[in-house]
A and B are shown apart, each in its own frame.
Chain A
Amino acid sequence: MKIPIYMDYHATTPMDPRVLEAMLPYFTTEFGNAASKSHVFGWRAEEAVEAAREEVACLVGATAKEIVWTSGATESDNLAIKGAARFLSGKGKHLVTCKTEHKAVLDSMHALERQGFEVTFLDVERDGRLDPARVAAALRPDTLLVSVMHANNETGVVHPIAEIGAITRARGVLFHCDAVQSAGKIPFDVEAAKVDLASLSAHKMYGPKGVGALYVRRKPRVRLVAEMDGGGHERGFRSGTLNVPGIVGFGKAAVLARAEREAEGARVLALREKLRKGILAELDLVTLNGSLEDRLPGNLNLSFAYVEGEALMMAVKDVAVSSGSACTSASLEPSYVLRAMGVTDDLAHSSIRFGLGRFTTEDEVAYVVRLVAEKVRKLREMSPLYEMVKEGVDPSRIEWANPH
């Protein structure tokens, strides 16, 4: 068992060695530009790119022509949302999304607001899920696009996208789905979910950083205004020389994901449950943030009452995790995702996100259970709030002077 232990698979994933192996020739001998149409270096690069395109398309139930390569899911989100809104701006100016979306979606929406579009940011239920009825109620005659992610990166909560897709399809509104955390982990199919645009990221599925994809439906055809001009690559959707090694890696990662998803999902789920049950058996006053049933197999987001998140992360420094605490963010704001779910600020400050994945072992889980239990106990001994609770005082009833 290697220290430090990595349990932050939602932030990024280690590259699968098989992916690296597939990529290497494209750095050394097969270095051609895939757009060089006139010689064998270019042809071989293009062949590799197209093979990868097939694989990524297959992963999500699309055809190869519907996959556009980007620099990552942030770019894909920007291209989908801004590109669609700008293309359709003559027809309307309203967009719908959800408060718990990734910043790449939210900030793209805010940018469009500054340009005169109107955006509705929907609330979620306490368990983190978006109720499709809210989407239906928010649609207006001039709504252009709805953007709802498949699985949330902080809480792992899985939204009912098939139901949302049915609603948007019936109303003739485009549906963009950020599938970054779900693709390759749980079944995601663009036909089943009636999705028109989908963002994907290689480094969340054991591929390299710096490459992603946008699924753009062709039947019926979705049109976008490109963000990147200059040469018309990717059918005019995204200019720029392709990151051939990265794309090859993404393709290989997609192949592996398809082959191993089911078995891996079951294994990771079992480990996650071991972690969850192990921690709950050792400690009291621990709450799960988000639905347990509708959740990514590898995600565990827990709040440890009366212990602050950054202090806990420092205490378990042998384990890489992340927290929804304000102290861990540059803006000193606690997690907006937890807040949208109605988690009180003090519990948001006490939250830790564990992300398990392909290379997590049982030994690591057992070690983390023991370590977390030990450190939470130690920090609770130091906590004035826990002391109050043990004395029978409810800290939430106190009028805090807040000279802060």
Chain B
Amino acid sequence: MAYSEKLLDHYENPRNVGSLDKSDPDVGTGLVGAPACGDVMKLQIKVDDQGVIQDAKFKTFGCGSAIASSSLVTEWVKGKTVDEALTIKNTDVANELNLPPVKIHCSVLAEDAIKAAIADWQKKNGRTPTVKPDTVQGDRAELAKKGALKSGI
């Protein structure tokens, strides 16, 4: 697989690998994917009182593209407000890393992971969820049309 330099960098030197305390009320945890698919991402965010994401950590079971995608999004969400983080789209990730077409679904999963982490934090903090954790805004229909999503999605 011919990967871009940025992707290889994120894979060789992943940013923010690790875990935050799940039970901390400021921490939102998103767990997406499935072992049977070969892709599982756990993304955690620590949000302050102003709704700004102060820290993010990830762990991923998946290929180089999956690891790079999740590493990249932890970098991107840090310093953003929760609402700003929700605007991160999988296409941004795919473009930044130059993902080959067959790996686009890794970026979709990374977007899912952000939304799942945010939804979890919102639930813990009595906020109304702005998006359900298992839907992805925007490009899913586009991707399905292009055949870039795995069958059965």
Contacts and interface: CB of A to CB of B under 8 A. Distances in A.
Interface of A: 306-311, 314, 325-328, 330, 332, 334, 344-346, 349, 381-387, 395-396, 400-404
Contacts of B123: none
B141 interface: no
A404 B134 CA distance: 9
Interface centre among A306, A327, A349, A400 (most CB of B within 10 A): A327
Given A326-B38, A349-B35, A404-B33, A314 B62 contact: no
A326 B152 CA distance: 15
A381 B17 contact: yes
B35 A404 contact: no
Contacts of A345: 35-38
B61 A403 contact: no
A396 B35 contact: yes
B56 interface: no
A322 to B, nearest CB: 12
Chain B interface size band reads 35 or more
15 contacts: A306-B61, A309-B38, A309-B63, A310-B1, A311-B64, A311-B66, A334-B38, A349-B35, A384-B31, A385-B61, A395-B35, A401-B32, A403-B134, A403-B135, A404-B150
Interface stretch (B39-47, B75-83, B89-97): B39-47
Contacts of A346: 35-36, 38
B66 to A, nearest CB: 7
B39 A384 contact: no
Interface in B98-118: 102-103, 105, 108-109, 112
A112 to B, nearest CB: 26
A386 B134 CA distance: 23
B91 to A, nearest CB: 17
A383 B61 contact: yes
Contacts, number: 104
Contact of A344 (B17, B36, B62): B36
A215 B26 CA distance: 70
Given A306-B61, A403-B134, A384 B40 contact: yes
A403 B63 contact: no
Contacts of B60: 382-384
B85 interface: no
A402 B33 contact: yes
Given A308-B63, A314-B11, A385 B40 contact: yes
Nearest to B115: A403
Interface of B: 1, 11, 14, 17, 19, 31-42, 59-67, 102-103, 105, 108-109, 112, 133-136, 150-151, 153
Contacts of A403: 32, 112, 133-136
Contacts of B102: 330, 332
Contact of B39 (A314, A387, A404): A404
Given A330-B102, A381-B17, A404-B150, A325 B36 contact: no
A402 B34 contact: yes
A79 B112 CA distance: 49
Contacts of B62: 308, 311, 327
Nearest 4 pairs of A and B residues by beta carbon: A346-B35, A349-B38, A384-B42, A400-B34
B37 to A, nearest CB: 5
B37 A384 contact: no
Nearest to B59: A384
Looking at A325, A349, A381, A403, which has the most chain B CB atoms within 10 Å of its CB?
A403
Contact of A310 (B35, B41, B64, B134): B64
